[in-house]
Structure 1
Amino acid sequence: MTETASSAGRHDRLKALSDAGVSIWLDDLSRERLNSGNLAELVRDKSVVGVTTNPTIFANALADGEAYDEQVRELAARGADLDATVRELTTTDVRNACDLFRGTWESTDGVDGRVSIEVDPRLANQTDPTVAEALDLWKTVDRPNLLVKIPATKEGLPAITRTLAEGVSVNVTLIFSVERYREVMEAYLSGLEKAKENGHQLAQIESVASFFVSRVDTEVDKRLDAIGTDDAKALRGKAAVANARLAYAAFQEVFSGERWDALAAAGARAQRPLWASTGTKNPDYSDTLYVDDLVVADTVNTMPEKTLHAYADHGGEPADRVTDTGPQAKGIFEALTTVGIDVDDVYDVLEREGVEKFEKSWLELLDTVRGQLDKASN
């Protein structure tokens, strides 16, 4: 097979996934990707229709290479402080990515072509400051295809509703349990109802709910290995997909009925499930596991580039692997409970660690930029 034919085959696999109703978003963004044309190439050749970012992604981007040096020097010359510099650097990347995806946003009637930016993770357990920062990020980036990421903590839930009520599109992140996901969908519906009361056009508000996948297997598998029985070991690698499948069943249930019908009649869009953390962390599992087994319409899969290329090369047939799998998935969790897994504790640990990891990355980002500002000032 020629290289051209091989490349076409890889694109065909991604296109088939897209045709199955899965929006392919890249879980990464950097100045280098933008300046080199790499991101534009992925949009053109790999069916990528959106981008997600988080504090870890930005920390890695700013620590790698010299792409930000010129802007840092300009900001240092203007006397910008550390927080203002970080805000300027990150929102510039996101704004430029929004512009790159503007055509996609227009051609999909605002469903895709979305770029996400997260509120400061140190605010994850503070409602009012989260709302203030979300609104400020929306105004600062000033692009209609932005999504502001708000974590699905207890304190984040009312922030989600209040932010949506102002007509701001939201990506709800760090969702691990179906119970919390239901609370997120409730926050979304309430936000839409308030937005309508406030005179906003519901058709202009978009939202996704980022349901984390691979981290569930990582935590559950560790506990199954500690239990060590044959029954426990037989359940390794099954929790994450089952959890996501139950989430999709909840999505189908919530976005039906009179309450949703009234919002949909006013132009509202359903808050799509977004499968996040879909890079396979256990080398014993297929590197496309969390793409292959979660194919279903009306979802987003945000992939690290490594996972994107792996699926393009050897991903499975993109047939629906989720619809009507709820009973089977529920059986997996009954079996996990039977062997001794405290599922609620798993979710509590994952949420706490998720916030802590992003806080750590944010502090690393601040340290990196502090060093760059010091260097530019000398």
Structure 2
Amino acid sequence: MTNKALAELSESGVAVWLDDLSRGRIQSGELKKLIDEKSVVGVTTNPSIFQAAIADAEVYDEQLHDSATLQMSVDETVRFITTRDVRSACDVLREVHDRTGGQDGRVSIEVDPRSARDESKTVAEAALLWWMVDRPNLFIKIPATLEGLPAIDSTLAAGISVNVTLIFSIERYRAVMDAYLSGIEKRLEAGKSLDGIESVASFFVSRVDTEIDKRLDEIGTPEAKALKGKAGVANAQLAYQAYEEVFSSDRWKALEAKGARKQRPLWASTGVKNPEYPDTLYISELIAPNTVNTMPEKTMEAYADHGKPGTPVTETYADAQKVIDDLKAVGIDFDDVFKALEDDGVDKFDKSWAELYETVKAALGK
């Protein structure tokens, strides 16, 4: 039976995606079960997810053995393993993709994070991964660094669907939406079709609280400590306000009339890091039409068990702005926070990729 809480979340306009993937989950039928019982309509991946899957599962042994026999490089092996899993997941979700007119049923695979600050390499790898997976319900994940913005534009113009990741600030989110609109405009100017092109913008939530809570503790005043655990949600709520503004503009309406689809906000980093906070915080407080929430399975199960909807995002803007204003008043430098989060995010992606690389390298006996 379909879980009632997650079904109601879906009916409210929030697409439920799973932030995890493994070959074992696909082959055992677990992914299909989540689609049938937990309203899951999409999957996101990253190097950490693949590293954990490959390190702990025998289902990869045969492919690793074949790669070693063929003397494939570590980079080649990583690409072949990850694209195989993503292709298989795309096939499992294809029915959802077709049923939703291509909006959902999507699986995301990330470009090599070592290229996060290299536009040309990001564009080239996005094209390679799109070709290797060869499924219409794929998303290519591209980090929203300054160097990534033109890569997002170019990749969309080439007809490749993009999941823009690692967004922390509303300013950068506006730049991401602009890159999306620009990519669609360029594709239309070239006389090419928009059929099948979708995009989501992954706005990170819990990491904002982790960083700002640390700074509030350092400030140490009662006023500062009273604001702990409020920044992530408020920041995301105001991001949705920006989304509503951009996707009601005349620029957007002109594109929509030519068949463009809205780039949906995707709430990422929604597993609660601080055990003192409700474990469904970043789901309950971020319910809004035409959004995606990608959840670790533990968070998904928590909402399925006891999740309750909070105040709809569209009714929170004034309160959210007050939280941000209060945080600034006690000394939070948001520009510095967002720079630190982006730098740390890119660094974490690099480290995760290095761990994935070393796991595969050891398995190949290199």
- Pairwise TM-score range, normalised by the shorter structure: over 0.9
Please say if 1:373 is aligned against 2:364. Answer: yes
Shift of 1:201: 2.0
Q: 1:337 aligns with which of 314, 328, 343?
A: 328
Q: Which amino acid aligns with 2:206?
A: S
- 8 Å contact from structure 1 (residues 166, 198) kept in 2: no
Q: Which amino acid aligns with 1:328?
A: D
Is there any run of 5+ residues in structure 2 with no aligned partner, and where?
none
Partner of 2:21: 29
Distance between the aligned counterparts of 2:324 and 2:251, measured in 1? 30
Shift of 1:319: 5.8
Please say if 1:61 is aligned against 2:43. Answer: no
Superposed CA deviations along residues 284-329 of structure 1, whole A, max 9, x for unmatched, are 000000000001111000000000000000001x365200322221
Q: 2:120 aligns with which of 125, 128, 131?
A: 128
Please say if 1:359 is aligned against 2:350. Answer: yes
Bigger shift: 31-40 or 185-194? 31-40
Q: Which amino acid aligns with 2:199?
A: S
Partner of 2:341: 350
Q: RMSD across aligned C-alpha pairs, in angstroms?
A: 1.1
Distance between the aligned counterparts of 1:42 and 1:283, measured in 2? 25
- 8 Å contact from structure 1 (residues 20, 297) kept in 2: yes
Distance between the aligned counterparts of 1:63 and 1:76, measured in 2? 16
Partner of 2:81: 89
Q: Which amino acid aligns with 1:85?
A: T
Partner of 2:65: 73
Partner of 1:312: 304
Q: Which amino acid aligns with 2:172?
A: R
Superposed CA deviations along residues 246-268 of structure 1, whole A, max 9, x for unmatched, are 00000000001221111101110
Partner of 1:137: 129
Say which SS state the counterpart of residue 262 (structure 2) adopts. Answer: coil
Q: 2:274 aligns with which of 277, 282, 291?
A: 282
Shift of 1:79: 2.0
Distance between the aligned counterparts of 1:110 and 1:181, measured in 2? 23
Partner of 2:12: 20
Distance between the aligned counterparts of 1:346 and 1:297, measured in 2? 28
Say which SS state the counterpart of residue 360 (structure 1) adopts. Answer: helix
Identity %: 63
Q: 1:113 aligns with which of 105, 124, 139?
A: 105
Distance between the aligned counterparts of 1:125 and 1:199, measured in 2? 30
Distance between the aligned counterparts of 2:158 and 2:20, measured in 1? 27
Say which SS state the counterpart of residue 204 (structure 1) adopts. Answer: coil
Q: 1:301 aligns with which of 293, 298, 310?
A: 293
- 8 Å contact from structure 1 (residues 166, 200) kept in 2: no
Q: Which amino acid aligns with 1:305?
A: E
Say which SS state the counterpart of residue 374 (structure 1) adopts. Answer: coil
Distance between the aligned counterparts of 1:332 and 1:95, measured in 2? 42
Say which SS state the counterpart of residue 49 (structure 1) adopts. Answer: strand
Say which SS state the counterpart of residue 270 (structure 1) adopts. Answer: coil
Q: Which amino acid aligns with 2:15?
A: S
Q: Which amino acid aligns with 2:128?
A: D
- 8 Å contact from structure 1 (residues 214, 279) kept in 2: yes
Q: 1:48 aligns with which of 37, 40, 48?
A: 40
Say which SS state the counterpart of residue 314 (structure 2) adopts. Answer: coil
Distance between the aligned counterparts of 2:192 and 2:358, measured in 1? 40
* Correspondences of 1:204-219 after superposition (within 5 Å): 204-219=196-211
Please say if 1:220 is aligned against 2:212. Answer: yes
Bigger shift: 188-197 or 148-157? 188-197
Superposed CA deviations along residues 158-194 of structure 1, whole A, max 9, x for unmatched, are 0000000000000000000000000000000000001
Shift of 1:60: 1.2
Count matched residues: 366
Please say if 1:193 is aligned against 2:218. Answer: no
Distance between the aligned counterparts of 2:193 and 2:222, measured in 1? 55
Distance between the aligned counterparts of 1:148 and 1:62, measured in 2? 21
Partner of 2:265: 273
Bigger shift: 331-340 or 103-112? 331-340
Partner of 1:4: none
When normalised by structure 2's length, the TM-score is: 0.98
Is there any run of 5+ residues in structure 1 with no aligned partner, and where?
1-7
Partner of 1:149: 141
Please say if 1:328 is aligned against 2:319. Answer: yes
Say which SS state the counterpart of residue 160 (structure 1) adopts. Answer: helix
